[in-house]
Amino acid sequence: MNQLAIPLERHCLDNGLKIVLSQDSTVPIVAVNIWYGVGSRNELPGHTGFAHLFEHMMFQGSKHVPKNKHFELIERAGGTLNATTWFDRTNYFETVPSRDLELALWLESDRMGWMLPAMDQEKLDNQRDVVKNEKRQRYDNQPYGDWDQRLQALIYPKDHPYHHPVIGSVEDLDAATLEDVAAFFGTYYVPNNAVLTIAGDFDESQVMDLVQRYFGEIEAGAPIPPLPGDSCLEPIIGDTVREHVFAEVPLARVIMGFRIPPYSSEDFAVAEVSRALLGMGRASRLYRALVRERRVAKGVVTYAFPLLTNASMLLTWATGYPDSTPEQLEAALTEEIEALVEARQSEVDRAIALTETDLVRALEHVGERANLLSMFNLYFDDPDRLNHEIDRLRAVTVEQIRDFAASQLGSDNRAVLVYEPKRKS
């Protein structure tokens, strides 16, 4: 494939708000996407889950937008919207027919500038209940639902910002007050901590006037405070750490995680490609060995988390059959992961080919374009990185992958989380 050429333009308002524009009028729709540089890593002890609860509050109205009006107006326009909270950031996004770009800018700017006047205790209590239900539905009432918090706790020490889960604890959610909402807003939801991307069908001669009109009068905030907790971390765990959980789960599952270089490091690309060799597609090592040939696992999952602070994590998991033991799963995973020290060039080529297809497919959506541009701008101050992603991965050599396997995927850097079905008495 030829070089990607997603067009983009960058601006910055006086209040520090960064803007990325990417025009494409093939389809008359436009995506508006804002990334705020705040996530669960910014939460203080006793306030876990707050960044996510706050995200819910952002939909409860602002000075000029009554409760539920945000949803109502976007849906009425024929648009879709949502928001997500993660370790390093929180994003808000809508895709609308292009004639309603101004509506989306009005809504996003009103809550960036005028959220607090609309807050009250009733809304906080309501959304706290909604979030508790989200926690029950997605984590507490699901087999294996607590895996991520257990794995994070194994890979990151107690005072590291990635030690606790994004959803937080019920006790901390219960303790959240309206004052916390105001303080969080004033600290982090400021234009100088945000990137606004507009991608799709818009009028290039007018769009910056609109952005200036809606966001220009929002005042800049103070510089963003440093991360809480101790974010010093060794590049490897130093040992094999493990937790064995007997739970109400149907099948044994072994989750193996490793500390890897942070997303901001050049070496993250090596981790990404290594991950693809292990688990991307059905020709990948883990699928081929564990699922197809040895038939010890019914399925495998792999993922390299793109995290910014000190170290990210690479995750692999294998779910067994009714008669597989956790020991078998762990042994097979270990063996195949360690064998990556013999990676071959043909595997790298295949991983790159699949990654290319997946990236182009993602870019078919203006919403996804906008999301990636916001991310690259917020994380790396470089939205054009989108056009060079594949080159970055292509530059990874098979020798680098072998070295990575030897230095990062061994027994001195392994977190093993085992789920075993509770024995019926």
Partner 1 sequence: MSLLDRTQPPASGEIRQFDFPEVQTGALSNGLDLKICVLPRLPIVSVNLFLRAGEGSLVEGRAGTAVLTGDALEGGTLKRNGSSLAEALEGIGARLGVSTGWEGTSISVSVLADRLPEAFALLAEVTLEPDFPSVEVDRVREQQLAEIRQRSMDPSALASDEVSRRFYAEGLPYARPQVGTESSISSVTRDQIRGYAEACYRPGSGGLIIVGDVDPEQIKSLSSEYFGSWIGAPSAVDNFRVDAQTRERRVWILDRPGSVQSEVRLGHVGVARTTPNYLPLSIGNLLLGGTFTSRLNLNLRERNGFTYGVRSRFSFRSQPGPFQVSTAVGNEVTASAVREILSELESLVVDGVTREEVDAARDYAAGVFGLHLETAGQIASRLNQILVYGLPDDYYHLYRDNIRSVSTEEVTSAVKAHIRPDEVQVVIVGDAESISGSVDALGLGPLEVV
Nearest-CA neighbor of 74 among 367, 378, 363?
Answer: 367
| Positions in 141-180 near partner 1 (CB under 8 A) | 141-143
Closer Cβ to partner 1, 107 or 396, answer by number: 107
Residue 76's CB: how many other CB atoms inside 10 A? 11
Residue type, 102: E
Nearest-approach distance from CB 172 to partner 1, in angstroms = 18
The nearer residue to partner 1, 351 or 415, going by C-beta atoms, is 351
Measured from the CB atom, the residue of 11 and 298 that comes closer to partner 1 is: 298
Shortest CB 170 distance to partner 1, Å: 11
**Alpha carbon distance 324, 346 (integer Å):** 31
Minimum CB separation of residue 226 from partner 1 in Å reads 33
> Cα separations (Å) of 168 from 51, 53, 82, 243?
9, 9, 20, 20
Both structure tokens of 425: 């008495």
**Whether the Cβ atoms of residue 348 and residue 398 lie closer than 8 Å to each other:** yes
Q: At closest approach, how far in Å is the CB of 400 from partner 1?
A: 21
22-51 binders of partner 1 (CB under 8 A)? 24, 26-29
Ordered alpha helix ranges (H), 280-308: 285-286
Spell out the alpha helix ranges (H) of 78-215: 101-113, 121-135, 147-155, 170-175, 178-188, 207-215
- Minimum Å distance from CB 366 to partner 1? 7
**Are 225 and 287 in contact, with CB atoms under 8 Å apart?**
no
Nearer to partner 1, 236 or 352 (CB): 352
Interface with partner 1 (CB under 8 A), residue from 12, 183, 331, 353? 353
Q: Which residue in 209, 219, 335, 349 binds partner 1 (CB under 8 A)? A: 349
Q: How many CA atoms lie within 13 A of 132 on its CB side?
A: 13
Amino acid type, 164:
H
Answer for which of 11, 23, 83, 98 binds partner 1 (CB under 8 A) is: 98
Q: Is 110 in the site for partner 1 (CB under 8 A)?
A: yes
Q: Does 133 bind partner 1 (CB under 8 A)?
A: yes
Residues 357-376 contacting partner 1, CB under 8 A? 357-358, 360-361, 363-366
| Interaction of residue 389 with partner 1, rule CB under 8 A | no
The size of the chain, in residues, is: 425
Q: How far apart are CA 188 and CA 228, in angstroms?
A: 14
Residues numbered 279-318 forming contacts with partner 1, rule: CB under 8 A: 281-283, 287-288, 291-293, 295, 298-299
388 binds partner 1 (CB under 8 A): no
Site for partner 1 in 405-424 (CB under 8 A): none
Q: 244 in helix, strand or coil?
A: strand
Shortest reach from residue 168's CB to partner 1, in Å: 15
The burial of 226, by beta-carbon neighbours within 10 Å (0-12 exposed, 13-18 middle, 19 or more buried), is given as exposed
Nearer to partner 1, 105 or 405 (CB): 105
- DSSP code, position 73: H
Q: Whole-angstrom Cα distance, residue 213 to residue 236?
A: 49
CB of 239 to partner 1, least distance (A): 32
Q: Which of residues 202-231 bind partner 1 (CB under 8 A)?
A: 213-214, 216-217
Q: Is 67 in the site for partner 1 (CB under 8 A)?
A: yes
Stretch that binds partner 1, among 38-46, 134-142, 377-385, 391-399 (CB under 8 A): 134-142
CB-based contacts of 153: which residues, under 8 Å, 6+ apart? Answer: 163, 164
116 contributes a contact to partner 1 by CB under 8 A: no
- According to the binding rule CB under 8 A, does residue 382 interact with partner 1? no
Cβ neighbors of 181 (< 8 A, separation 6 or more) are 54, 57, 116, 119, 124
Helix (H) or strand (E) holding 279: helix 268-279
Looking at the Cβ atoms of 97 and 410, the one nearer to partner 1 is 97
Q: At its nearest, how many Å lie between partner 1 and the CB of residue 209? A: 12
Instruction: Indicate the residue among 103 and 256 with the shorter CB distance to partner 1.
Output: 103
